[in-house]
Chains A and B, each alone.
Chain A
Amino acid sequence: MSLEITRMNPHFADVMPQEYTDLVENGPFGRDFGARDLGSFKELFEEHPMCAGCNLSLAFRIIVASLPNPADTIMVGSTGCNSIAFPQLALHNVHSLFGNQNAIASGLKRGLALRFPDKVKDVVVVAGDGATADIGLDMTLHSWFRGEKFATVMFDNEIYANTGGQESGMTECGEIRNMAPTGKKFNKISVANLAIEAGCAYVAVVTTASPLKISKCFEKAVLVAREIGPTYVQIYTPCPTNLKLKSSESVSLAKERSKGTYQFREHVSPEAEEFLAARAEKTEEQVRVTSKDEEMHSA
């Protein structure tokens, strides 16, 4: 049981630094915390060195808090701003090369499936738009074609943020960026459409304007990937540093875009639909039973 690795050897409990004691005592391992509870438990992602107002780190914080089973989750990142966030994550996570995240995850998931046939090990990929849609596009798509059972999350800041604001395939047509000095000459790539076409069982497009929506969609993506097949969540995470915005302005931008050119979209395959409905029914039943229990206690 992997929860074991989150428990301390009692012979050293007295010398462990406070942050680890906090993680063990107030962390999310084996407990039912979600994005809704942020602020009330010790998070697995903390003290990150990202820029002030970074939307990527906000999205990162939300998805980490929304992991259905962190104690059995291995995350895979890629080179880019996310790889500055990942070292601060209290979970096994891989940084390998720029763009190979879905290939690493394919091997990782298959290896874990062989070693732990009776246990669910969630593999979650989180990478930038450059990593997912440009340099790693073949590996993104092929992991979907092959039906690899893990969730892929794109942090779409429509730019190569980490290397100083160059054009990516996800930049909107006409935008002036480094390496696109006269404006981008082609349309933003619709990775969501590609995902549907490639057979993803669940696809969602969201923005940092609605954190709870990110949380809900992400959780569905992880659960559907476990049972049915590949899933994709694309999150608009505008970069205040490269866009030269104040932090508050970047959230407003996300709000504005979510009403215009970055609207919420969700695709759920019939199989995924059925699975999610059955699951919702089960949870509802659980809720009914618990509230009944409570009623009886209060009576």
Chain B
Amino acid sequence: MERYRVVPGPEGYLPPAAALHGVELPLPGQGLVEGSRVEGRTAALAIAERLVSASVPTFFPGPLLLWKSTEEALERGRLVREIAREVGAKVIPMPDYRPKYPMIDPAVEINPNHPNLTIWFNKIDVGVFIGVHCHQANLALKIIRGGTSCFTVALCAHEGHEDANASLRDTDVASLTALLDAVRIVKQGGE
């Protein structure tokens, strides 16, 4: 069987979890691009390129970034806003994980149980998750791959995400600073 590639959807009725088809998490120092392990810097550049060339790039900060303002969270928040400014991205928060009742307002928020609604409504073509618990991030990533053509990015503070089209692991202030640099390099026409 051919190697499963984690490319943007819409993939269909119920796409598989990438981990069940041989996609492995990045090792320390690495990132993932479309299911392949690459050097962390290569992944950051790939993400930067996507962000710069997107029509509606959007950051989805999650609860771990939105609440409990530790110094780290403040600094990460500042960097996310700066990267978003640099690429002209929207910022649509995921304030919590409960399915939205009676109805989500997809213009102002995203939810892991039905993230496709927000992607569709805003015509988002590149979406970046950060500060979302890994379980909920994986739900969102898979549902988006199933029903939309959005390119997904997961900036994970832990081990990364196979279900994203591109993912960094151990994302901290330094890696966000590096991503900001990568965005600036790409904007100036590459290295």
Contacts and interface: CB of A to CB of B under 8 A. Distances in A.
Direct contact of A and B (CB under 8 A): yes
Given A11-B81, A12-B93, A6 B67 contact: yes
A141 to B, nearest CB: 32
Contacts of B66: 8-9, 12, 16
A9 B67 contact: yes
A10 interface: yes
B69 interface: yes
A5 B63 CA distance: 9
Nearest to B95: A20
A88 B92 CA distance: 21
Given A11-B81, A15-B93, A49 B101 contact: yes
A10 B71 CA distance: 12
B98 A7 contact: no
Interface in A6-58: 6-12, 15-17, 20, 47, 49
Interface residues of B, number: 23
Interface in B37-70: 61, 65-69
Contacts of A294: none
A10 B70 CA distance: 11
B105 interface: yes
Interface string A152-178: 000000000000000000000000000
A5 B96 CA distance: 12
Contacts of B93: 12, 15-17
A15 B92 contact: yes
B17 interface: no
A4 interface: yes
Contact of A9 (B65, B99, B105, B109): B65
B74 interface: yes
B108 interface: yes
B186 interface: no
10 contacts: A6-B67, A9-B67, A9-B69, A12-B93, A15-B91, A15-B93, A49-B101, A49-B102, A87-B98, A88-B98
Interface of A: 4-12, 15-17, 20, 47, 49, 87-88
